[in-house]
Amino acid sequence: MQSRHYDAMDLLIIQVDQFISAVRGQNVPATRPYPAAEIAEHPLTEAERLESERLMRVNHAGEVSAQALYHAQALSTGDKTVRAIMERSAVDEGDHLHWCRRRLMELKGRTSYLDPVWYVGSFAIGTAAGLVGDRFSLGFVAETEHQVWIHLHKHLRRLPPGDTKSRAVLQQMAEDEARHGATAMAGGGVVLPQVVRTMMQLCSRVMTGTAYWI
C-alpha cells in the first residue's frame, strides 16, 4: 500500500485542524479510559474546589502546549523513527488533554483563555527544536517531560486531600511523562546545555503562573 504524499497545503490544513482540536477540545477521542472514572467524588469546600480547578487548568494548558510541541517536532524531522516517537507521545498527550478537560468540567471550571497563545508559542518552540536536529529534538522532549514530571508532583502535593479524582489523573500523567522522557533518550536524545534547560524552566513558569489565573 502506497503512503500518501502531503503537499504544503495538505500540511497546512492538518496543522490548522490540530490547532483547533487542541484548543477547542475537539481532538480525537481518548485512547485510554479516564483514570478517575471509578473514583467517587468527595465533597470539597469552595476554596478547595477553586484550588483544584486552577491546578487542573494549568495542567490542561500544559497539555495544549504538549500537543503543539509534538506536532511541530514530528513535522520538522525527516527521520521516520523519530517521527513515530513524537506521534506516539502525542497520542498519550491527547489522552491527558481529554482527562484534564473532563476533570475541569467535573469541577465546574474552565480552560485557560490563553490556550491559543500556548499552542502557537509551543509550536514555534517545537519547530525550532526540531530544526536544530533529531538528537537535540529528542533531548528537548526528555527535558520537557522531566520538568513536567516535577511539576505534576508539585501539584499532587498541592491538591486538596479530598480531591482523589484529580490525583488519579495526575498520577497517570506523571507515569506517562516519565516513559516519554525515557523513550526519547533511548531513541538518541542528548542532555541539553544548562542554559537551554534554564530558559525552558523560565518559559514554563510564565505559562503555569499565568494559566493558574487566566
Tens of pLDDT, residue by residue over 33-53, are: 999 999 999 999 999 999 999
**Rounded average pLDDT over 147-165:** 96
Tens of pLDDT, residue by residue over 91-128, are: 899 999 999 999 999 999 999 999 999 989 999 999 99
Task: Find the DSSP H helices in 76-193.
Answer: 80-106, 115-132, 134-158, 164-186
Q: Residue 155: pLDDT above 90?
A: yes
Show the domains of the chain with their CATH numbers.
46-211 (1.20.1260.10)
Fill in the DSSP letter of residue 27: S
The pLDDT of residue 24: 65
Q: Which burial class, exposed, middle or buried, applies to 46 when counting CB atoms under 10 A from its CB (0-12, 13-18, 19+)? A: exposed
> What cell does 40 get?
467517587
